[in-house]
């Protein structure tokens, strides 16, 4: 016997494809995306329905959540109890849902940690009043009923929502290959837009946005997205919304009173504290959380002084923390056709109104059928009343009274059954007035329903009236104010660093460090074996430091990022990538507008702004063009190029002083000749030993030649004055082998 005979055989590839497709469709249609009609995912719908079946209305006493969840997963949702409870908790959190559907008692989490809720055996829950807007019409023939998972019960395929709940509380979900991110909205605004669309079916999205101003989150944080972007979002069904925390000034402190949706206060404090630890927020002295029952959000920032401008500081915090947050919007949902689609605002409201119209029509038809049945039964009762003695006689004497009654009085089977089910005592008590009064009332109702069903205009008016009623009953004022603002920008890093004096020290082998203060003995610092001092620069922590290598390339880094002078520092090759074999020869610090003189030992130079030396490129940038064999001299700062003098000295003792104004101001290049060094002397090794800048009338310089040094005051320097590019005057004999020069006053 073939054991395989009873089994269907399909290729593994086909099975895998089918299984994955089935799973994908299940996730899309039955798990992740809400339905446009009631705005609920299946698990949410089942929770709300099961709670209504348990009698947990808003007016009822709450029941243990475990009891409710047990009922949900036992009857309708055969999945994990934990995830089912989490879905219920979400619907109960006032900080997660704009209009919570569940009223929870006990620990249902906090904005700090929404998932810190107590176990379901400890919490109690019931439905909130607004859930009635989803459930009120359930038993009125408004929904299709489908078998539950085991076919023993029936559950509604959707809930007859009286309000556009899909936009009311919004939804988030990740399906296979698609996601949904629907923000919450204000009920009154949505109702107003629906009424406008009923009155004007041709209304554009822009016109509907006159009513629906934008999302309305369960928080007072500002929505700062420009109006045009919000409009584009509603037109395309996708985009983003930017929300920003709200703060006030209170006795010199900055108090944050509202945070964007789903932002944790403790995370905000952590983010700010991390910046304080990294010394990137010198303007804040202290921060604390003063949140309590009355003030759910109250974060206090204590500025270092009264001079700190909150309007400058806060944009930086908005840009660097979650105080300003962007929310993705993707209006993806399952439409009336049962397919997922990203819809614009008009399409959503149109589809919901179509759903609502169908629901109301079904409700009216259901009621009409009930009224007509009751009228039919009343007609039977009336006939029984008019022939009471005969009816009682037939019932008492006949073995089979039903066919006799039907034949004798022309009653229908339903009417006869109703008469026979009514006790004789009650039949005897029938009063024509009461029967006629009920009949008149029902006929009036039937006529009213028929008018509504036959007149689309009157049906529209009924829907509008119900929307107005629900908006009045469940609606409230907008919580999230709409304030158009530019996206916040972080402050420049230098603005966030306390301005303190530092001395930057560069060693001969290219190791850099920064010592606190300007009174630092750079020579006396410890150096690695075989290394020593090359250059020193006085700076402030808010400034940049620039180094120039042997190829004339410049590299820059913020002074506050340099390592402490307690150790040996760090090699510059770790921060920058100079050309192979290039050494670092010069060091300078300053503000962007600081004027510097850059020169080479071949006797060429120019004036430049410090900004020209700075850049983010790790490979640096070419700043000074060097001839073969030329070296960069230590740059010199000139405070007033128009009045300052430059003193140039060669290794052979030629000294020249001329005005800085004679030099060109360039961003990069070779520059002009400073002092004449004939080609022959250049070839023999004469070089420029150094340059110094002196103030007109009061400057002095000191030259070092071996163990000897010479200080020249302004009166002495005047004798060496001349024009740029001349040979200059000779120094006294014995001081002609100059090694370096420096400004001493």
Query: Which residues are part of the catalytic machinery?
Result: 122
Spatial CA neighbour of 102 closest among 91, 87, 115: 91
Spatial CA neighbour of 178 closest among 8, 33, 315, 60: 33
The secondary structure of the chain in percent helix, strand, coil, rounded to multiples of 5, reads 35, 25, 40
Question: Looking up tokens 């022309």, which residue turns up?
Answer: 410
Q: Beta-strand (E) ranges in 651-730?
A: 654-659, 672-673, 688-694, 701-705, 708-712, 729-730
How many C-alpha atoms does 608 have within 13 Å on its Cβ side?
21
Spatial CA neighbour of 547 closest among 634, 605, 646, 637: 634
Spatial CA neighbour of 694 closest among 739, 731, 741, 736: 741
| N- to C-terminal Cα separation, the chain | 113
Asked if 302 contacts 286 with a C-beta cutoff of 8 angstroms, the reply is yes
CA gap 388, 427 in Å, rounded = 8
CA gap 189, 203 in Å, rounded = 15
- Cβ neighbours of residue 103 closer than 8 Å, sequence gap 6 or more: 58, 62, 92, 125, 126, 127, 128
Helices 265-277 and 310-320, packing angle to 10 deg:
110
CA gap 409, 177 in Å, rounded = 68
**Could you give the 3-state DSSP secondary structure of residue 709?**
strand
**Could you give the 3-state DSSP secondary structure of residue 335?**
coil
Cα torsion angle, 32, 35, 39, 45, sign: negative
Phi first, then psi, for residue 681 (nearest 5°) are -65, -35
Overall size of the chain counted in residues: 745
Distances, alpha carbon 343 to alpha carbons 209, 229, 230, 336, in Å = 15, 16, 15, 12
Tokens coding 617: 């490129």
Q: What angle do CA 116, 119, 122 make, to 5 degrees?
A: 120
Helix (H) or strand (E) holding 605: strand 604-609
Spatial CA neighbour of 211 closest among 190, 230, 227, 197: 190
CA gap 299, 268 in Å, rounded = 9
Q: Which residues pair with 535 in a beta bridge?
A: 506
Asked if 624 contacts 608 with a C-beta cutoff of 8 angstroms, the reply is no
CA gap 631, 634 in Å, rounded = 10
């Amino acid at each position: 016997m073939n054991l395989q005979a009873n089994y269907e055989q399909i290729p593994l590839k086909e099975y895998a494809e089918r299984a994955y497709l089935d799973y994908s469709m299940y996730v899309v249609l039955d798990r992740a995306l809400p339905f446009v009609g009631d705005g609920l995912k299946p698990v949410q719908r089942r929770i709300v329905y099961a709670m209504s079946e348990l009698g947990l209305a808003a007016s009822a006493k709450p029941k243990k959540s475990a009891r409710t969840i047990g009922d949900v997963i036992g009857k309708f949702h055969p999945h994990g109890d934990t995830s089912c409870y989490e879905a219920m908790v979400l619907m109960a959190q006032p900080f997660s849902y704009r209009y919570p559907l569940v009223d929870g008692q006990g620990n249902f989490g906090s904005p700090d940690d929404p998932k810190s809720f107590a176990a379901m055996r400890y919490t109690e829950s019931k439905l909130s009043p607004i859930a009635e807007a989803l459930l009120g019409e359930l038993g009125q023939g408004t929904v299709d009923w489908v078998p539950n998972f085991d076919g023993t019960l029936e559950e509604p395929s959707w809930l007859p929502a009286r309000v556009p709940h899909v936009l009311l509380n919004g939804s988030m979900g990740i399906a296979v290959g698609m996601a949904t991110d629907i923000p919450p909205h204000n009920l009154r605004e949505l109702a107003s837009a629906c009424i406008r669309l009923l009155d004007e079916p041709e209304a554009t999205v822009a016109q509907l946005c006159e009513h629906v101003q934008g999302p309305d989150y369960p928080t007072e944080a500002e929505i700062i997205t420009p109006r045009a972007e919000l409009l584009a979002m509603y037109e395309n069904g996708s985009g983003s919304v930017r929300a920003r925390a709200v703060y006030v000034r209170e006795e010199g402190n900055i108090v944050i009173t509202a945070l964007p949706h789903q932002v944790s206060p403790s995370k905000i404090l952590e983010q700010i504290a991390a910046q304080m630890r990294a010394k990137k927020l010198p303007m804040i002295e202290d921060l604390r959380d003063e949140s309590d029952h009355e003030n759910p959000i109250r974060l206090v920032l204590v500025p270092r002084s009264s001079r700190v401008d909150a309007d400058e500081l806060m944009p930086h915090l908005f840009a660097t923390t979650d105080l300003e947050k962007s929310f993705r919007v993707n209006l993806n949902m399952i439409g009336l056709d049962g397919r997922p689609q990203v819809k614009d605002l008009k399409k959503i409201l149109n589809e919901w109104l179509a759903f609502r119209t169908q629901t109301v029509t079904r409700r009216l038809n259901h009621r009409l059928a009930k009224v007509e049945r009751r009228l039919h039964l009343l007609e039977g009762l009336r006939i029984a009343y008019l022939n009471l003695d005969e009816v009682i006689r037939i019932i008492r004497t006949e073995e089979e009274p039903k066919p006799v009654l039907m034949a004798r009085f022309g009653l229908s089977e339903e009417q006869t059954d109703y008469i026979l089910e009514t006790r004789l005592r009650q039949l005897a008590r029938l009063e024509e007035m009461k029967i006629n009064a009920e009949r008149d009332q029902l006929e009036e109702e039937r006529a009213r329903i028929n008018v509504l069903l036959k007149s689309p205009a009157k049906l529209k008016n009924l829907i509008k009236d119900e929307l107005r009623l629900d908006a009045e009953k469940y609606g409230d004022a907008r919580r999230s104010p709409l304030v158009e603002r530019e996206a916040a920008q972080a402050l420049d890093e230098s603005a966030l660093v306390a301005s303190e004096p530092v001395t930057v020290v560069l060693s001969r082998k290219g190791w850099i460090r920064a010592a606190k203060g300007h009174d630092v003995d750079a020579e006396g610092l410890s150096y690695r074996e075989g290394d020593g001092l090359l250059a020193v620069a006085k700076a402030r922590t808010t400034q940049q430091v620039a180094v120039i290598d042997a190829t004339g390339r410049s590299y820059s880094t913020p002074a506050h990022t340099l390592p402490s002078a307690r150790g040996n520092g760090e090699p510059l090759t770790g921060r920058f990538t100079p050309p192979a074999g290039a050494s670092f020869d010069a060091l300078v610090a300053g503000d962007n507008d600081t004027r510097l003189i850059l020169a080479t030992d071949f006797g060429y130079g120019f004036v430049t702004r410090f900004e020209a030396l700075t850049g983010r490129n790790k490979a640096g940038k070419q700043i000074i063009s060097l001839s073969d064999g030329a070296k960069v001299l230590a740059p010199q700062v000139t405070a007033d190029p128009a009045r300052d003098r430059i003193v140039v000295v060669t290794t052979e003792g030629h000294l020249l002083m001329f005005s800085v104004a004679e030099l060109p101001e360039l961003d990069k290049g070779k520059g002009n000749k400073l002092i004449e060094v004939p080609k022959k002397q250049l070839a023999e090794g004469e070089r420029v030993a150094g340059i110094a800048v002196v103030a007109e009338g009061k400057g002095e310089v000191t030259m070092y030649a071996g163990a000897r040094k010479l200080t020249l005051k302004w009166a002495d320097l005047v004798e060496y004055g001349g024009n740029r590019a001349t040979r200059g005057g000779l120094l006294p004999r014995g001081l002609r082998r100059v090694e370096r020069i420096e400004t001493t006053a």
